[in-house]
Amino acid sequence: MDDIFIYDRGIPVSRIAFGQDFGDIVKALDACAGGPLPVYVVADANVERFADEIIALTGGEDSGASCRSNIRFCGKYTLKATEEDKTMDSVLAMADWLLRQGADRNAFILAVGGGITTDMAGFAASVYKRGVRFAYVPTTLLSQVDAAIGGKTGVNFDSYKNMLGVIRQPEFTYICADVLKTLPHRDFLSGAAELVKSFIIEDGGNYAMAVEFLSGLEDADNRDAYMAGHMDVLLSLIHSAAAVKAGVVTRDQFETGERRKLNLGHTFAHAIEKNARLSGDDITHGEAVAIGMAMAAELAERTGIAAPGFAKSLKKDFSKAGLPSTCPYPVPQLVEAMGRDKKAENGIVHFVLPAAVGDVRICDMELSAAVRSL
């Protein structure tokens, strides 16, 4: 599968590479090495075995003079990937470990895990010694199609999601399909919401293909067998979604315009997630995004941006695909959090509203007016 690049003023700044397994990871690391490359692996404790597999391929603990490549493995740090632990304290602990390991300005951080791990490791790499090089091996569907692409890094702060962070591109994102085999179904569906989101933003025929693939998975008696039999379809969807994101980021890396489209469903989703945290409810990021996209479709319809019936048909597709679309909280309960969303400015929220599949628009709207419409 072809590599995808993110460009900054015509210069490639981040590469997205694809592999069935970890076979080509040494090649990807070697491509980053002008000379000896001191690699520090940061891994989600739940997927430590993948990190160990990669470390073994690089020559492991004994890498160095005897290793055929320039990669020098310098240590592994494991973290707990939960939203509660996605904090500045965790980033400081990582920085403390790097310092104690003797990591200098040449350090190269390789993050192995889902979006929580890549967001935190990318942030730590961006601020450690004013920034060292880093790359990602995303192990969830969500991070393969979204979180590990585009350079947004960060942590939660004061009960708000991703309040502190920077935008800095990983040198590469290595997408390996095999890792998804161990991903729990609920986490897979969480990523499926972001996959579907990509195709509501830019369709190219992929939206219908994604809904069909997910409906089949939902109905399958044996999901593992279905996945194994449809791996080529899934890989093609991941590649297309990654290309959508890379294209948008290339055109608007620092989110002054078009990149806001990637927030489709997220203004509602972040408010839903905040309510869930306060009420002790268990809602994944992807579930909140799916509900948020359905709410955005409702708002688009009620404000005349989408044709009548659009929200209903979207919700029908979501239901077939196993994605939720009904908000468990009354809209007024979401308002305070929406006003505090990072994307809100002076009471005006940049709502991203779908006019149709493949046609989303950024609509600046007063929060109170939006709430009245809903």
Ligand X SMILES: NC(=O)c1ccc[n+]([C@@H]2O[C@H](COP(=O)([O-])OP(=O)(O)OC[C@H]3O[C@@H](n4cnc5c(N)ncnc54)[C@H](O)[C@@H]3O)[C@@H](O)[C@H]2O)c1
Would you please indicate which residues are annotated as catalytic (active-site) residues?
130, 152, 194, 245, 255, 259, 263, 266, 270, 285
Site residues for ligand X, 121-160, by CB under 6 A, read: 139-140, 142-143, 146-147, 150, 152
Single out the segment in contact with ligand X by CB under 6 A; choices: 51-59, 97-105, 115-123, 313-321: 115-123
Q: Determine, following the binding rule CB under 6 A, whether residue 14 of this chain makes contact with ligand X.
A: no
Q: Which stretch binds ligand X (CB under 6 A): 18-26, 42-50, 103-111, 329-337?
A: 42-50
Would you count residue 198 as binding ligand X (CB under 6 A)?
A: no
At 238, list the tokens.
């991941």
| One residue of 17, 42, 179, 214 binding ligand X per CB under 6 A | 179
**Which residue, 83 or 171, is less far from ligand X as judged by CB?**
83
Closest distance of CB 167 from ligand X, Å: 9
Q: Is 235 exposed, middle or buried (0-12, 13-18, 19+ CB in 10 A)?
A: middle
CB of 201 or CB of 311, closer to ligand X = 201
d(CA 337, CA 353): 19
Q: Can you give the three-state secondary structure of the chain, one letter per residue? A: CCCEEEEECCEEEEEEEEECCCCCHHHHHHCCCCCCEEEEEEEEHHHHHHHHHHHHHCCHHHCCCCCCCCEEEEEEEEECCCCCCCCHHHHHHHHHHHHHHCCCCCCEEEEEECHHHHHHHHHHHHHHHHCCEEEEEECCHHHHHHHCCCCECCEEECCEEEEECCECCCCEEEEEHHHHHHCCHHHHHHHHHHHHHHHHHCCCCHHHHHHHHHHHHHHCCCHHHHHHHCHHHHHHHHHHHHHHHHHHHHHCCCCCCHHHHHHCCHHHHHHHHHHHHHHCCCCCHHHHHHHHHHHHHHHHHHCCCCCCCHHHHHHHHHHHHCCCCCCCCCHHHHHHHHHCCCCEECCEEEEEEEEECCEEEEEEEEHHHHHHHC
Nearer to ligand X, 147 or 349 (CB): 147
Contact 24, 172 (CB under 8 A): no
Indicate whether 255 belongs to the interface with ligand X (CB under 6 A).
Answer: no
Examine residue 202 and tell whether it contacts ligand X (CB under 6 A): no
- Closest to ligand X by CB, 190 or 198: 190
- Asked if 260 touches ligand X (CB under 6 A), the answer is no
**Residue 161 binds ligand X, judged by CB under 6 A:** yes
- Ranges within 84-103 binding ligand X (CB under 6 A): 86
Residue 37 vs 238, nearer CB to ligand X: 238
* 259 makes contact with ligand X (CB under 6 A): no
Binding mask 210-239 for ligand X (x = CB under 6 A): ------------------------------
Instruction: Please pick, from the candidates 63, 76, 176, 187, the single residue that binds ligand X as defined by CB under 6 A.
Output: 187
Q: Contacts with ligand X in 281-310 (CB under 6 A)?
A: 285
CB 14 within 8 A of CB 151: yes
Q: Is 112 in the site for ligand X (CB under 6 A)?
A: no
CA atoms of 215 and 235, how far apart (whole Å) = 17
263 is an interface residue for ligand X by CB under 6 A: no
Closest distance between ligand X and the C-beta of residue 267, in Å? Answer: 14
Span from 39-47, 233-241, 311-319, 336-344 in contact with ligand X (CB under 6 A): 39-47
CB of 41 to ligand X, least distance (A): 15
Binding site for ligand X (CB under 6 A): 44, 46-47, 81, 83, 86, 113-117, 119, 139-140, 142-143, 146-147, 150, 152, 161-162, 179, 182-183, 187, 190, 285
